[in-house]
Amino acid sequence: MSKPNETAVQRRWDWPYPIIARAEGIYLWDTEGRRYIDGSGGSSVVTAVGHGVKEIPAAMAKQAEDYSFYPAHVFSNAKLLELADLLASLAPGELRNHCKTRMTVTGSDATDDAARLARQYWMVKGQPSKHIILGRWQAFHGDNIFAVSISGLSARRRMFTPMFRDMPKIPPAFCYRCYFEKTYPACNLLCARVLEDAICQSGPENVAAFIAEPVVGSALACSPAPEGYFQAMKKKCAERGMLLILDEAQTAFGRLGSNFAFERLGVVPDLLSLSKTLGGGLPLAATVTSDDIAEDCRAKGFMHPTSHVSDPLPAAVGLAVLDVIAEENLNERALVMGKYLQDGLLALQQRHEIIGDVRGYGLLQGVELVKDRHSREPDAALGRKITRRCMELGLSMNIVSVGVMSAVWRIAPPLTVSKDEIDRGLEIMDQAIGEVLAEGGA
């Protein structure tokens, strides 16, 4: 591996960073000819359609030939309008063909826009005291200052806490490490019922919305909520005059076997934030809301202008990505390959005591590494060693190392992954775990 670059600031300070030369399918090649499986969809579940998909550079080139930027404050562009129409046609429930979409750059921007819309909506409705966005601990909704304030990822919050107005949090719906030390379903969804406590403590007249990820990606490594959780949250929001914001940065467009995770939850959000997969590797995000909310906000003029809102180049790519997902039937493929991957991970768990939990849905799976299954005590150092050994053997893995967990893999290969490729990834994990444990004498 190469030496760390001395001038470019990258994601980590302690990693040698091989230089990528090319990418195709689920594979990456560095400049020294080594091949790696992309086991986490980039670093954060981005490359759903895989690498080197010819439709993406073709869409970029065609749009760039015409124009790549324009004065968005006085003009529009065809790709933006076409993508918004396509998203509206894909949205399930009452949002289908009855929603508005604002395109932006990152998932942080999308959740920020959703929060702004929630605030403005209640202002228009004559309830200006509503400003609080309730969230959950062990949740991640972006890295700008406001997104950090509504997120519950402590490691990314502590340094900047004096710079933002913090928002209240409730415990996550996390059955493996239940905050209340209960067991589902005997718990009667206590993790959902505490939302009422948070509303009362904040004052219902002050609460604008509740935000959550359908399956928590970065902060809980692919942890889905128990059945009935989101139905209870939606009901409570309706009862208390709150909006429901769902952050589907990591779960939308095929990852869980459907275009949107909330199709599986039996609820429809008031506001929806999207990113990652939508751009196929380019920065593209979106905030979607109902026609009614959009029209109410437009009446007062929704203000959040930035230089790269509604850019045509990423919009063209977004259209290409959604076309590939539909044409290659990647939604159905994610369910089939996801089940195959999870079965393989469960088999691996039987072989290795340090695998405490396997969780997730579709091709979004989490593997939690522990010292032993009884105590469930995490082992960050061991997790880093195994992850590094996986990399040396040709498998790039994203490890979560924050909060209550210290060694959890977020496994999210491109949706085009085959059974043979999954088998090879599992073999590398098996070998890496075995070799690191043998070195440590465990």
Reported as a single tens digit per residue, the pLDDT across 358-368 is 999 999 999 99
For helices 291-300 and 107-124, the axis angle rounded to 10 degrees is 70
Q: Which of 386, 391, 431, 425 is nearest to 407 (CA)?
A: 386
Q: What CATH number labels 57-327?
A: 3.40.640.10
Maximum Cα–Cα distance for the chain, whole Å?
67
CA dihedral 176, 178, 179, 184 (to 10 degrees): 160
Q: Which of 178, 179, 175 is nearest to 223 (CA)?
A: 175
The pLDDT of residue 1: 47
The pLDDT of residue 30: 96
> For residue 439, what is the enclosing H or E element?
helix 419-440
- Determine the Cα–Cα distance for residues 204 and 198; give it in Å rounded to an integer: 9
What's the pLDDT band for 352 if we cut at 50, 70, 90?
very high
The CATH number of domain 20-49+329-440 is 3.30.70.890: no
- Can you give the three-state secondary structure of 344-404, one letter per residue? HHHHHHHHCCCEEEEEEECCEEEEEEECCCCCCCECHHHHHHHHHHHHHHCEECEEECCCC
For the stretch 335-351, pLDDT in tens is 999 999 999 999 999 99
- Determine the Cα–Cα distance for residues 208 and 95; give it in Å rounded to an integer: 20
Stretch 246-262: mean pLDDT: 95
Residues of the chain with CATH 3.40.640.10: 57-327
Average pLDDT, the chain: 92
Are 304 and 111 spatial neighbours (Cβ–Cβ below 8 Å)? no
- Determine the Cα–Cα distance for residues 209 and 200; give it in Å rounded to an integer: 14
DSSP reduced 3-state for 410: strand
Q: How many helices (H) and strands (E) does the chain have?
A: 13, 17
Distances (CA, A) of 145 to 118, 163, 164: 17, 8, 6
For the stretch 287-331, pLDDT in tens is 999 999 998 888 777 666 678 888 999 999 999 999 999 999 999
Higher pLDDT pick, 100 / 159 = 100
Distances (CA, A) of 13 to 16, 212, 273, 398: 9, 30, 30, 16
Q: Is the pLDDT of residue 225 over 70?
A: yes
